[in-house]
Amino acid sequence: MSYKRCTRQLSVWGIPALYAGTAIVAGLTLPRIESLIFPNLVAKMSVAAAMAVYSAIASGMIAMTGIVFSLAFVMLQFSATAYSPRLVLWLAHDPVISHALGTFTATFLYAIAALTGVDRSGSGKVPFVSVWVVFALLVASVGMFVGLIQRIGVLQVSRMLVFTGDQGRRAITALYPPLEFAAAAAGSEALRALPRRQTIVHSGRPSSVQRIDLSVLVNLARASGAVIEMVVAVGDTVVERMPLLHVLGAAQPVDERKLKGGIELGRERTFGQDPKYAIRLLVDIAIRALSPAINDPTTAVQALDQIEDLLLRLAQRRLEIGMFHDSSGKLRLLIPFPSWDDLLQLSFDEICFCGATSVQVMRRMNALVNDLIPAVSEERRPSLHHWHARLNATIARSFADGEERTEASQQDRQGLGMPVPASMNP
What digits encode the pLDDT tens for the residues 115-165?
877 776 666 777 888 888 888 999 999 998 888 887 777 777 888 899 899
Please tell me which residue, 30 or 333, carries the higher pLDDT value: 333
What digits encode the pLDDT tens for the residues 252-302?
889 999 999 999 999 888 888 899 999 999 999 999 999 888 889 999 999
Distance CA 205, CA 171 (A): 27
Tell me which residue of 391, 384, 329, 316 sits closest to 358, measured CA to CA. Answer: 391
Residue 182 has pLDDT above 70, yes or no: no
What digits encode the pLDDT tens for the residues 367-417?
999 999 999 999 999 999 999 999 999 999 999 888 989 999 999 999 888
What digits encode the pLDDT tens for the residues 64-94?
888 777 777 777 776 667 677 777 666 667 7
Q: Residue 1: what pLDDT?
A: 45
Q: Residue 11: what pLDDT?
A: 57
Residue 337 has pLDDT above 80, yes or no: yes
Please, which pLDDT band fits residue 424 given cuts at 50, 70 and 90? low
Please, which pLDDT band fits residue 183 given cuts at 50, 70 and 90? low
Average of per-residue pLDDT across 105-111:
90
Q: Residue 122: what pLDDT?
A: 66
Q: Residue 339: what pLDDT?
A: 93
What digits encode the pLDDT tens for the residues 237-252?
999 999 999 999 888 8
Q: Residue 240: what pLDDT?
A: 94
Residue 25 has pLDDT above 50, yes or no: yes
Please tell me which residue, 187 or 285, carries the higher pLDDT value: 285
pTM of the model: 0.79
Strands (DSSP E) contained in 112-252 are 196-201, 207-212, 227-230, 237-238, 243-248
Contact (CB, 8 A) for 343 and 276: yes
Residue 360 has pLDDT above 50, yes or no: yes
Distance CA 168, CA 318 (A): 16
Question: If you average pLDDT over every residue of the chain, what do you get?
Answer: 86
Q: What are phi and psi of 300, to 5 degrees?
A: -60, -40
Q: Residue 3: what pLDDT?
A: 41
Residue 422 has pLDDT above 80, yes or no: no
Average of per-residue pLDDT across 47-66:
85
Kindly state the percentage of the chain with pLDDT values over 90: 48
Q: Residue 222: what pLDDT?
A: 93
Distance CA 118, CA 133 (A): 14
Residue 188 has pLDDT above 60, yes or no: no
Q: Residue 124: what pLDDT?
A: 72
| CA pseudo-torsion sign 329, 334, 337, 342 | positive
| Local structure of residue 291 (DSSP, 8 states) | S
Q: Residue 9: what pLDDT?
A: 52
Q: Residue 373: what pLDDT?
A: 94
Contact (CB, 8 A) for 375 and 383: no
